[in-house]
Amino acid sequence: MCNEFQRHKLLKDAIEEFDRRGLPLFRWKDGMIPNMLDAQPAIRIRDSAFVVGGTGEGLEGAMMTWAWPGPRGAPVFNFRSEGRDFSRSDRVLVLADGFIEYTAPAAPVKLKDRHLFTMAGEPWFWIAGIVKEGCFTLLTTAPGSDVAPYHDRQIVTLAPDQGMAWLNLSQPEQAILRAPPAGAFQVRTLRKDGVVQAA
């Protein structure tokens, strides 16, 4: 499952781009501008990340912790989407420009192979999430053909112009919470058989 993603885009630049893309007016939750506006090249479980929710007046952004504590103490960082109704959930969009998946190496080394997924033709994308206890989790679905060779699940990703459908449920949930078509992602192996790969 996805336990790491990244955001290289500065939040100031991202928010300016929201307007250029015709997204609703953005504001910070409670008018509180966070200190963490720089890039986050590695966001891991229990880190804070930038999320956007919808209000009647537009978009509302905040920094929020990834993963709430589960009933047995383990962090709930991914959440299966199939067979659930999220119409009454606190739905958010998580800004990212890549996510990491790991696979078993062929060589007898401890470190798993590491693969970066970025959206083809887009500098960034959304990940569908929900909020509970002041923390967010990422929704997952059956993998599309881009992710299936690497993992049996994938996070629900949405192109920049598709995110509002998740916030306002302007489409049926099952149409939103699914893997994108083949070729939606570019994949680059960052580490193979314990060796970091050249860019």
pLDDT for 199 equals 79
Question: Residue 28: which H helix or E strand, with range?
Answer: strand 26-28
Burial class (CB in 10 A: 0-12, 13-18, 19+), 79: buried
pLDDT in tens, 127-163: 999 999 999 999 999 999 999 999 999 999 999 999 9
CB atoms within 10 A of CB 110: 6
Q: Report yes or no: 143 and 152 within 8 Å, Cβ to Cβ.
A: yes
Number of domains in the chain: 1
What lies within 8 Å, CB to CB, of 172 at 6+ separation is none
Q: Which percentage of the chain shows pLDDT scores above 70?
A: 99
Residue-number span of the structural domain to which 65 is assigned: 4-196
pLDDT reading at 94 higher than 70: yes
Q: Report yes or no: 30 and 69 within 8 Å, Cβ to Cβ.
A: no
The per-residue b/e assignment along 128-147, b for 16 or more CB within 10 angstroms, e otherwise, is bbbbeeebbbbbbbebbebb
Residue with the two structure tokens 């112009």: 161
Residue with the two structure tokens 């881009």: 146
Output the pTM of the full model: 0.96
pLDDT band at 2 (very low <50, low <70, confident <90, very high): confident
pLDDT in tens, 26-53: 999 999 999 889 999 999 999 999 999 9
CATH number at residue 139: 3.90.1680.10
